[in-house]
Amino acid sequence: MATLRPARLRPGWLAAGIGAVLVALVAGVALGPVTLPPGSVAAELLNLIPGVDLPSGLNEREIAIITELRLPRVVLGLLVGAMLSLSGGCYQGVFRNPLADPYLLGVAAGAGLGATMAIAFRAGAVLPLAAFAGAATAVVATYLLGVAGGRDRTSATLILAGVAVSSFLAAIQTYLLQRNVDTIREVYSWLLGRLATNGWHEVTLLLPYALVTTVVVLALRRELDVLSVGDTEAASLGLHPQRSRMILLAAASLGAAAAVAVSGLIGFVGIIVPHLVRMLAGGSYRSILPLSLLFGAAFLALADLAARTLIAPGELPIGVVTAFFGAPFFVLVLRTTRRVSV
């Protein structure tokens, strides 16, 4: 029997991904209404490492801008981008479809309903919790509906269940908006995505879920390569296809739900980055998932930089920026899907 030997992650691509994250980190912290020298910013960031003390030439006010205002927002952008991209890559592997994204199983609709309820009932303090609970509930409902068909359930069944659950939750959300028209502007501001931070609070909320998702998905990335050959062949190689899919979907959905809870709905990241990585670095999930994590983090941090600087002192919703890049790329994906190995 032939042994699967997917391509390994190339050190050059790994270095490029790490470099992209570092560039996005320094650029995101240095640029803004008050522009700071990138070299000084890099030195000040290194000073955050215990035992490092480099002269940055920045005064106390500029250091406060870095550590209290910009750095938490940039780190949040890195985490959200990493989770959306990693989840998107995982979904594409599980469903064997390069057009799958992290919102496929109702995460977006559930989070949107949870956020709408929190805003409509004047409970904004628990908005992230409500959005996360809504997203998690939607995924559980999708799974329960998908497995109701018994042993003949397939990935397509889960997708259809996700469509049904999303439509139902969207209908409830529309009803709530009609009953609370004064909240429409605030709800749509959240739905278009935002990375507004209150210090490090949002980062600490997201970080535990991000760690769990990252560890589980990356630990099982080789199983996605096996699943790509089909369930029969995967089972003959000793894999339990349904169990692997459920674990991967649960981990990816957890990360996506947590990211949406703190940032709102930011579209296209989970499609753009994994598909671009697949086109450039090959079709093995040994490469796709870790590189999606890194390049997704850098992409969203840079998109947020564009969102807050293009029309300064105003700010664009970050979902508008990602859609500006994502919509044309989506057309490209549609044109090349048949030529790209999944």
* Cis amide leading into 98 (omega within 30): no
Helices H / strands E in the chain, number of each: 15, 0
3-state secondary structure of 79: helix
pLDDT of 90 reads 95
pTM: 0.90
Q: Say how far apart CA 52 and CA 44 lie, in whole Å.
A: 10
pLDDT of 342 reads 43
Q: Say how far apart CA 202 and CA 105 lie, in whole Å.
A: 24
Report which of 115, 122, 106 is spatially closest to residue 161, judged by C-alpha positions. Answer: 106
Computed from CA positions of residues 164, 165, 170, 175, in that sequence, does the dihedral angle turn out positive or negative? positive
Write b or e for each residue in 48-64: b if 16 or more Cβ atoms lie within 10 A of its Cβ, otherwise e. Answer: eeeeeeeebebeeebbe
Do 255 and 215 contact (CB within 8 A), yes or no? no
Determine phi and psi for 100, rounding to 5 degrees: -70, 145
pLDDT of 336 reads 65
Do 209 and 79 contact (CB within 8 A), yes or no? no
pLDDT digits (tens, 9 = 90+) for 43-76: 999 998 888 888 888 888 999 999 888 999 999 9
3-state secondary structure of 229: coil
Q: Say how far apart CA 76 and CA 161 lie, in whole Å.
A: 31
pLDDT of 174 reads 93
Q: Say how far apart CA 285 and CA 218 lie, in whole Å.
A: 9
Report which of 143, 80, 154 is spatially closest to residue 110, judged by C-alpha positions. Answer: 143
Report which of 111, 132, 130, 140 is spatially closest to residue 249, judged by C-alpha positions. Answer: 140
pLDDT of 18 reads 97
Do 138 and 166 contact (CB within 8 A), yes or no? yes
In this prediction, the residues of the chain whose per-residue pLDDT falls under 70 are 1-7, 149-154, 231, 333-334, 336-342
Q: Is 264 left (phi over 0), alpha (psi -120 to 50) or beta?
A: left
Q: Say how far apart CA 174 and CA 151 lie, in whole Å.
A: 35
pLDDT of 110 reads 95
pLDDT of 153 reads 61
pLDDT of 329 reads 78
